[in-house]
């Protein structure tokens, strides 16, 4: 049974960095020992990130702790700590200097129903084959998964990115499902893409015959946005982040239509 964590929630981030000085060193802690150590951090909601380093060889662990003293105490059982011919550092992540980049609130324990990934969003289209070609050739998405038998298709900018599922409603779905799906077609999707140049992207869209519903427009938050539709009138936003270090980007882009 998973219980609630009591007490103060750790708000500081610490990084444990191991660098192996001897490239020929073949002794490393067993995988089982490292897995158990990292799982302990995850189980109590302290784990932020963990992974191996390659140049130079090493190991990085980012975790939450109340203060430096607690961070050092949590690392006492680190299997990598006693590794010969290596360096061991514990660094505090200065949030006021670099920002967070992560949610500092400890997540619920495993198995408690926490969200782990935004996997895909659905876009309703009238002709799935035509839509696949347009999203692939015009937007540059890649087909990640396709099942002709069930008519399921998933496209994304790459593995690990949130995908777009193109759904073509069929009358054999019955009512009200068929009508409800059709009603979603040709409306703003709320989906926002980031680009390195909205002007170049707009030019590419126009050459492909896409409908531009809002040409490139400067935004108060420092970025620039563009609105366009697919062949079925589903509307998307593309934005280019401003030069300012704290330009909000997607949030402002999605909320700045028509002033």
Contact status, residue 194 vs residue 238, Cβ threshold 8 Å: yes
What's the pLDDT at 143?
Answer: 94
Helix (H, G, I), strand (E, B) or coil at 60: strand
Rounded-to-integer distance, Cα 138 and Cα 205, Å: 7
Token output for 141: 């998405």
Q: Rounded to whole angstroms, how far apart are CA atoms 162 and 157?
A: 8
- Cα radius of gyration (the chain): 24
Which pLDDT value is given to residue 20?
Answer: 83
Superfamily of domain 117-185: 2,3-Dihydroxybiphenyl 1,2-Dioxygenase, domain 1 (3.10.180.10)
Q: Please tell me whether residue 204 adopts helix, strand or coil conformation.
A: helix
Whole-Å CA distances, 218 to 173, 224, 226, 240, 253 = 43, 4, 9, 10, 10
Specify the pTM.
Answer: 0.57
- So what's the pLDDT on residue 256? 46
The CATH class of the 12-98 domain is: alpha beta
pLDDT of residue 80: 83
What's the CATH number of domain 186-259, 3.30.70.20, 3.40.50.720, 3.40.1180.10, 3.10.180.10? 3.10.180.10
pLDDT in tens, 108-139: 566 667 666 788 999 999 999 999 999 999 99
- The CATH 3.10.180.10 portion of the chain extends over 117-185, 186-259
> Residue 120 burial by CB count (10 A; 0-12/13-18/19+): exposed, middle or buried?
middle
The mean predicted confidence, pLDDT, of the chain is 82
pLDDT in tens, 4-35: 444 455 568 899 988 888 766 665 667 788 88
For the chain, list residues with pLDDT below 50.
1-7, 98, 100, 244-248, 251-256, 258-259
Token pair, residue 68, equals 């430096």
- 3-class state of residue 45 by DSSP: coil
pLDDT value of position 246: 45
């Amino acid at each position: 049974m998973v219980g609630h964590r009591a007490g103060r929630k750790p708000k500081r981030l610490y990084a444990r960095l191991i660098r192996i000085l001897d490239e020929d060193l073949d002794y490393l802690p067993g995988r089982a020992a490292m897995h158990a150590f990292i799982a302990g951090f995850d189980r109590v909601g302290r784990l932020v990130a963990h992974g191996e380093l390659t140049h130079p060889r090493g190991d990085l662990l980012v975790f939450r702790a109340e203060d430096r003293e607690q961070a050092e105490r949590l690392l006492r059982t680190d299997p990598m700590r006693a590794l010969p011919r290596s360096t061991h550092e514990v660094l505090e992540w200065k949030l006021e200097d670099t920002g967070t980049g992560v949610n500092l609130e400890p997540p619920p324990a495993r198995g408690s129903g926490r969200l782990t990934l935004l996997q895909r969003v659905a876009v309703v289209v009238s002709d799935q084959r035509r839509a696949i070609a347009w999203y692939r050739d015009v937007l540059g998405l890649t087909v990640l998964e396709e099942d002709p038998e069930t008519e399921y298709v998933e496209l994304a900018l790459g593995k690990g990115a949130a995908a777009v599922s193109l759904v073509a409603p069929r009358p054999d779905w019955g009512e009200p499902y068929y009508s409800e799906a059709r009603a979603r077609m040709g409306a703003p999707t709320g989906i926002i893409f980031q680009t390195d140049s909205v002007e170049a992207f707009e030019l590419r869209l126009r050459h492909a015959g896409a409908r531009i519903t809002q040409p490139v427009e400067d935004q108060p938050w420092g970025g620039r946005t563009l609105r366009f539709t697919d062949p079925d009138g589903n509307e998307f936003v593309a934005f280019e982040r401003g030069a300012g270090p704290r330009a909000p980007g997607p949030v402002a882009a999605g909320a700045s239509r028509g002033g």
